[in-house]
């Protein structure tokens, strides 16, 4: 949209460079999405220095057995703040975009002549349409849809940074399906400077039902589970452990209407099995940009015309999300399933191949 000739106001409650609580895993297809905007964007992404290329997933079962899956394409791990800095850097170069930082949208009103967005600074923004990319607690979604959070369709996660974790391999990210967390997992993702992004995510309904304190559970796991405690014996935590909620793409919600669209977490575009959301946010944002241009070209901002966005983005994401959610429900809290899967994948090429298709977001 930045090159469409349209005048755009990009509103962020912060600066876009904050270190949000996130695993920081970037899907291998992200450069491809950027390339649809411009080859130089994909080139700039590839030149980012403070990221780690990964192409191997090492999966640990509740019984501490492991198996690795290696892929031809590389994804990346980087701090969320670094990715935000990269993206805001691209936006800042576009003359048609006014980047409004430290500004929060508190109300949105749709009228026949356009959209009126009111900020926490008592300023008013008038536009032809609004795209809500404002996260799990989206103000745009709350004002314009009846979408409600549901524990069965969300996950809760915590994350901390640790230095000097033993046996962290640069091109490998680890998923530990510990008994207490399944079908969620504990993760260890490599970062530059001998730092690891370490977190724990679980279905929100399980967290609530079993009254689990995820921060305590993460620290207990890396100190009490023998094979993990050995690796964290000399580790030092950097900063605090933060928490966040992931709205999963395990159901369809309202993602558009008259003069508005929702993207990313605001539209519940998060992989139900892995919890990866940055890639799906990028994809949905790209489709929303294309749809916005169509709206202005046709001078049509109706809910019916906006349904083209729903059709295209769900055609891209829904089938895979539904399949991965089926796997999540099928495995459930059955730790023996994970033990058996890892055991069989380490011995059978066919099982290994089948599981690899589930694990990788290429």
Domain membership flag for residue 79: no
Residues 6+ apart with CB under 8 A from 244: 20, 21, 22, 136, 156, 157, 158, 159
Give the span between the Cα atoms of 327 and 107, in whole angstroms: 39
For residue 1 the two structure tokens come to 């949209």
Residue numbers of the domain that contains 118: 104-150+251-331
Q: Which of 103, 134, 99, 132 is nearest to 120 (CA)?
A: 103
Domain membership flag for residue 110: yes
Q: What percent of the chain has pLDDT over 70?
A: 98
User: Total domain count for the chain?
Assistant: 1
Domain membership flag for residue 77: no
Q: Which of 22, 41, 17, 28 is nearest to 76 (CA)?
A: 28
Cβ distance 26 to 77 under 8 Å? yes
Mean pLDDT of 12-17: 92
The CATH number of whichever domain residue 117 belongs to comes to 3.50.50.60
Domain membership flag for residue 256: yes
Domain membership flag for residue 182: no
Q: Which of 127, 138, 109 is nearest to 254 (CA)?
A: 138
Q: What percent of the chain has pLDDT over 90?
A: 90
Classify strands 256-257 and 260-262 as parallel, antiparallel or unpaired: antiparallel
Give the per-residue pLDDT at 170: 87
Mean pLDDT of 88-117: 94
Quote the pTM value. 0.93
Give the span between the Cα atoms of 147 and 270, in whole angstroms: 16
Give the per-residue pLDDT at 287: 97
Domain membership flag for residue 346: no
Question: What's the pLDDT tens digit per position in 238-250?
Answer: 999 999 999 999 9
Give the per-residue pLDDT at 1: 57
The four Cα atoms 231, 233, 237, 243 give a dihedral, to 10 degrees, of 60
Domain membership flag for residue 25: no
Question: What's the pLDDT tens digit per position in 311-355?
Answer: 999 999 999 999 999 999 889 889 999 999 999 999 999 999 999
Question: What's the pLDDT tens digit per position in 113-169?
Answer: 999 999 999 899 999 999 999 999 999 999 999 999 999 999 999 999 999 999 999
Give the per-residue pLDDT at 332: 86
Give the span between the Cα atoms of 79 and 108, in whole angstroms: 32
Give the span between the Cα atoms of 214 and 207, in whole angstroms: 8
Cβ distance 129 to 7 under 8 Å? no
Label residue 362 by pLDDT band (50, 70, 90): low
Domain membership flag for residue 262: yes
């Amino acid at each position: 949209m930045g090159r469409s000739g349209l005048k755009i106001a990009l509103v962020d409650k912060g600066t876009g460079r904050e270190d949000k609580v996130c695993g920081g895993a970037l899907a291998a297809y992200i450069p491809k999405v950027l390339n649809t905007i411009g080859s130089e964007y994909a080139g700039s992404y590839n030149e980012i220095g403070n990221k780690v290329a990964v192409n191997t997933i090492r999966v640990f079962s509740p019984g501490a057995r492991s198996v690795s899956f290696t892929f031809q394409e590389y994804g990346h791990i980087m701090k969320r703040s670094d990715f935000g800095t990269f993206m805001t850097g691209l936006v800042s170069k576009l003359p048609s975009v006014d980047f409004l930082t430290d500004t929060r949208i508190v109300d949105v009103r749709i009228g026949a002549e356009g959209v009126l967005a009111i900020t926490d600074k008592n300023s008013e923004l008038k536009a032809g349409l609004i795209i809500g990319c404002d996260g799990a607690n989206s103000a745009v979604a709350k004002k314009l849809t009846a979408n409600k959070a549901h524990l069965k369709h969300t996950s809760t996660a915590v994350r901390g940074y640790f230095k000097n974790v033993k046996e962290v391999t640069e091109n490998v990210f680890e998923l530990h399906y510990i008994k207490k967390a399944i079908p969620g997992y504990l993760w260890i993702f490599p970062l530059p400077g001998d730092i690891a992004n370490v977190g724990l995510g679980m279905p929100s309904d399980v967290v609530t039902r079993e009254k689990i304190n995820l921060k305590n559970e993460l620290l207990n796991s890396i100190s009490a589970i023998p094979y993990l405690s050995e690796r964290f014996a000399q580790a030092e935590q950097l900063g605090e452990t933060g928490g966040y909620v992931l709205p999963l793409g395990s159901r369809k919600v309202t993602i558009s209407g008259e003069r508005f669209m929702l993207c990313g977490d605001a539209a519940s575009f998060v992989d139900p099995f892995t919890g990866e959301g940055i890639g799906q946010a990028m994809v949905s944002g790209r489709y929303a940009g294309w749809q916005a241009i169509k709206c202005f070209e046709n001078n049509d901002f109706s809910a019916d015309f906006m349904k083209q966005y729903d059709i295209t983005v769900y055609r891209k994401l829904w089938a895979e999300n539904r399949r991965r959610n089926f796997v999540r429900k099928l495995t459930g809290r059955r730790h023996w399933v994970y033990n058996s899967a890892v055991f069989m994948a380490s011995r059978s090429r066919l099982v290994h191949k089948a599981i690899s298709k589930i694990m990788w977001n290429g």
